[in-house]
Amino acid sequence: MSIYKEDIMCSKWRPAIMPQPRMMLVVTGDDFGYCPRRNQGIVDCFQAGGISNVSLLVNGSAAKQAADLAKRHNIPIGLHANLSEGIPVCQSLQQSSTLINQHGFFHGKMGFRQALKRGEVSMKQVELELRAQVGLFVELNGHLPEHMDGHQHVHVLPEVREVFAKVVSDLRIPYTRVPVEPGLYSCPWMPAHLHKFYKQVEKDALDAIPVFRRHGIRWPDVYLGLTTMGQNMSIPSLHRALSYALAADPSSSTSSSVQGSHQPVVTAELMVHPGYPSHPKEGGCGEGPDDFSQSADRQHELSVLKDPSVLALYCQERVQLCAFRDL
């Protein structure tokens, strides 16, 4: 295990001070590269110890800046594969393809799902785009992604998951994300429409597990982040999520186990979206920033993740922040 930082509040990230951890937690800041203000918020969060990993949108308007920042600050980085927002990376798909609408943009979070359900999406074109995004990631960063997941969870959708798994396996990218969150259905504060969407995400993710397993792809024991997103993120909601994760049985997972431990250690990923609100017309993936990006939700997450009470909570529960490479 090569922990590059220590769990904050147990002094300055020296792992020797951390007692035997109960959990190895990757805290991933999604949408790196979306806009300069998102990039700055993510870097600030990383430097404060609030996140330990990032996921890059290579078709984001500030992707080059994000990659440069990751190099400068030694931030572990993976690929946030995007088939739903903005413009394709693959040039041959930018003019005419099943992945784009009449305006030349991806179909959107729900539009892509609807097109997929109608059988209108070419899996050959999906593969071309995924490989082009990995190629651009390598061009920007100088190495393959340490992990690869999907923007708006597109990587677990029917048909797409087979192509995604093939690309990830072919390129020997070791880790992905499986968005099945314990405690998801006991959240009275979550609006009905989000519950409905997340329930479908979970179903798709469960169906993706045998596909990912067949291709030898790994993921942490537990996924967290749907119940703590935006204004739903708070110290109590994070504590609740960690409690569910710590109750998980690592022996039943299909992830790799932490080596060198005398007792089972739960591995987990917490998906977060810290940042400063995007300026109107600045950022996005080719069609400007979305409402969530311009809202106060991003900065709210940033503030909570940097709160000393959250960092103390990790220490109290013996949660070691880490990167995917440390699992």
Tokens of 26: 């990757």
**Which member of 30, 149, 297, 326 is catalytic?**
30
Residue 117's identity, in one-letter code, is: K
Question: How far apart, in Å, are the Cα atoms of 251 and each of 56, 103, 184, 254?
Answer: 31, 48, 22, 8
Name the E strands within 225-265. Answer: none
Find all residues with CB under 8 Å of 234, minimum gap 6, and list them: 228, 304
Whose CA is closest to 266, among 256, 280, 281?
256
Name the E strands within 225-309. Answer: 266-272
φ, ψ dihedrals at 147, nearest 5°: -155, 165
Based on the residue annotation, tell me whether 30 is a catalytic residue of this protein.
Answer: yes
> CB burial class (10 A; 0-12, 13-18, 19+) of residue 209?
middle
Find all residues with CB under 8 Å of 9, minimum gap 6, and list them: 308, 311, 312, 314, 315
| Secondary structure class of 223 (helix, strand, coil) | strand
d(CA 42, CA 55) in angstroms, rounded, equals 10
Q: Which residues are catalytic?
A: 30
